């Protein structure tokens, strides 16, 4: 067996959500990590990071003996611009921590073992796609414990079918605003994108994302950021509601709760009136939230099937399923007694 010294802390990745919940026995708990990974993929840079929405997951060995340490995120320029100081809260065996559900408290046992510690990612801005090496610094040494990559993905254009899919979400935004700010002089630049540019609420300080300058250079000159990613892809956040929300990113809702309730009541009245199929087709086209149960990423109206037929709607769901939807009157017979499809059922050409 190789005699290799293992660092007392290992970087496991970042996660979108961390929940610590108690079990049946008091002071026993379980931990749920959602979205654990070593890569962060984004269509926009500079990328604002909100620590409330992104957590760092570390494994600590024999935490009782660990001195205070610093975890550094070292960029390609070899300078640690992001760091986290770990100062563990220790409790005697007979003591009980004030809050076992606090993610910053690390309950440990008496024997040497690995424990999981989850801390918030520092509030910061990542200027461009990059790799960060993660190092552990103590009084004696600095050692590498992992790496994290910020990757770029080009956003799909806002085609009609993608806009319809976004509008199917009851929590959909109609616009998104991104604020870039210089920490030195506090100079700002605000960009916005929307499902419908003419319908978006904006003020004189906000710039349509495709009309942004090439770079954001603040008044003091300390901040000089490339805006090409935002100019091309800010609209992608309209389909990622809440994924990167924070002080720099904000959304305006497309629907109020009363509007959703009104749509449901109008649809009920329409169905009770025994409408013709074109009436239902038009209502569904104008109210795509009724397709929300299918979790669409694309919602197409009257899509052609091969060369002879046309469906009323097609939904490409988030899990990759393609769902074809045909509108029929409730009294229309769908199946024969033997279970086969009725002769009256065929996709129209």
Q: Per-residue pLDDT for 222 more than 70?
A: yes
Q: Are residues 248 and 306 in the same domain?
A: no
pLDDT higher than 50, residue 348: no
Please report whether residue 349 resides in a domain: no
Q: CA–CA distance from 200 to each of 112, 144, 173, 174 (Å)?
A: 58, 47, 10, 7
Evaluate if residue 30 carries a pLDDT over 90: no
Name the more confident of 103 and 169: 169
Please return the burial class of 156, using the count of CB atoms within 10 Å of its CB with bins 0-12, 13-18 and 19+: middle
pLDDT at 108: 63
* Residue 340: inside a domain: no
Residue 240 lies in a domain: yes
Is 223 inside a domain boundary?
yes
- Of the candidates 240, 233, 187, the residue with the CA atom closest to the CA atom of residue 212: 233
Backbone angles phi, psi at 269, to 5 degrees: -65, -40
Last residue of a domain, one of 88, 118, 152: 152
What is the end-to-end Cα distance of the chain in Å, rounded?
A: 71
Strand partners, 148: 132
Q: Are residues 302 and 277 in the same domain?
A: yes
Q: pLDDT class for 349, splitting at 50, 70, 90?
A: very low
User: Do residue 225 and residue 278 come from a single domain?
Assistant: no
Residues 85 and 36 in one domain: yes
Residues 148 and 164 in one domain: no
Phi, psi angles (nearest 5°) of residue 135 = -120, 155
For the record, the structure tokens of 305 come out as 């099937």
Predicted confidence band of residue 97 (pLDDT cuts 50, 70, 90): low
In this predicted structure, which of 3-7, 53-57, 58-62 has the lowest mean pLDDT?
3-7
Number of structural domains (the chain) is 3
pTM for the structure as a whole: 0.78
pLDDT at 100 over 80: no
- Is residue 86, in this structure, part of any structural domain at all? yes
Looking at the structure, tell me whether residues 89 and 117 fall in a common domain: yes
Residue where a domain stops, chosen among 101, 119, 152: 152
* 331, part of any domain: no
Please state the length of the chain: 349
- pLDDT, position 285: 93
Q: What is the pLDDT of residues 300-338, one digit of tens each?
A: 999 998 778 899 999 999 889 999 998 887 666 666 666
How many DSSP H helices and E strands does the chain contain?
A: 4, 23
Decide if 109 is inside a domain.
yes
**Same structural domain, 74 and 170:** no
Q: Which of 47, 43, 55 is nearest to 239 (CA)?
A: 43
Residue 178 lies in a domain: yes
Categorize the per-residue pLDDT at 23 as very low, low, confident or very high, splitting at 50, 70 and 90.
Answer: low
Per-residue DSSP letter, 293: G
Q: Is the pLDDT confidence value at 13 over 80?
A: yes
The pLDDT value recorded for residue 262 is 93
pLDDT at residue 194 in the model: 92
214 and 130 assigned to the same domain: no
**Phi, psi of 215, rounded to the nearest 5 degrees:** -135, 155
Do 22 and 139 lie in one domain? The reply is: yes
Domain identity same for 100 and 215: no
- Structural domain of residue 37, as residue ranges? 9-152
Q: 220, 238, 253: which is the final residue of a domain?
A: 253
């Amino acid at each position: 067996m190789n005699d290799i010294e293992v660092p007392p802390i290992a970087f496991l990745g970042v996660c979108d959500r961390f929940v610590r919940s108690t079990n049946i026995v008091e002071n026993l708990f379980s931990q749920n990590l959602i979205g654990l990974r070593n890569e962060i993929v984004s269509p926009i840079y500079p990328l604002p990071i909100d620590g409330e929405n992104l957590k760092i997951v570390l494994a600590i060995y024999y935490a009782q003996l660990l001195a205070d340490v610093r975890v550094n995120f070292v960029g390609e320029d070899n300078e640690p611009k992001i760091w986290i100081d770990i100062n563990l809260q220790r409790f005697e065996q007979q003591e009980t921590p004030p809050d076992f559900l606090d993610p910053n408290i690390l309950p440990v046992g008496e024997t040497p073992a690995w424990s999981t510690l989850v801390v918030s990612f520092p509030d910061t801005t990542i200027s461009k796609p990059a790799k960060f090496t993660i190092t552990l610094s103590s009084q004696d040494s600095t050692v590498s414990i992992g790496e994290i990559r910020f990757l770029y993905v080009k956003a799909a254009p806002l085609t009609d079918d993608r806009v319809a899919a976004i509008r199917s979400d009851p929590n959909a935004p109609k616009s998104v605003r991104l604020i870039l700010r210089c920490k030195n002089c506090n100079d700002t630049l605000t960009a916005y994108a929307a499902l419908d540019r003419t319908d978006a609420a904006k003020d004189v300080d906000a710039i349509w994302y495709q009309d942004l300058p090439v770079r954001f250079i603040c008044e003091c000159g300390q901040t000089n950021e490339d805006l090409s990613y935002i100019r091309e892809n800010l609209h992608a956040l309209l389909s990622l509601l809440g994924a990167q929300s924070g002080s720099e990113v904000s959304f305006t809702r497309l629907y109020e709760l009363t509007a959703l309730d009104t749509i449901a009541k109008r649809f009920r009245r329409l169905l009770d009136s025994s409408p013709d199929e074109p009436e239902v087709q038009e209502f569904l086209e104008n109210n795509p939230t009724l397709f929300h149960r299918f979790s669409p990423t694309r919602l197409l109206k009257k899509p052609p099937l091969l060369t002879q037929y046309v469906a009323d709607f097609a939904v490409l769901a988030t899990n990759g399923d393609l769902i074809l939807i045909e509108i029929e009157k409730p009294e229309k017979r769908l199946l024969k007694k033997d279970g086969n499809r009725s002769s009256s059922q065929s996709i129209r050409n």
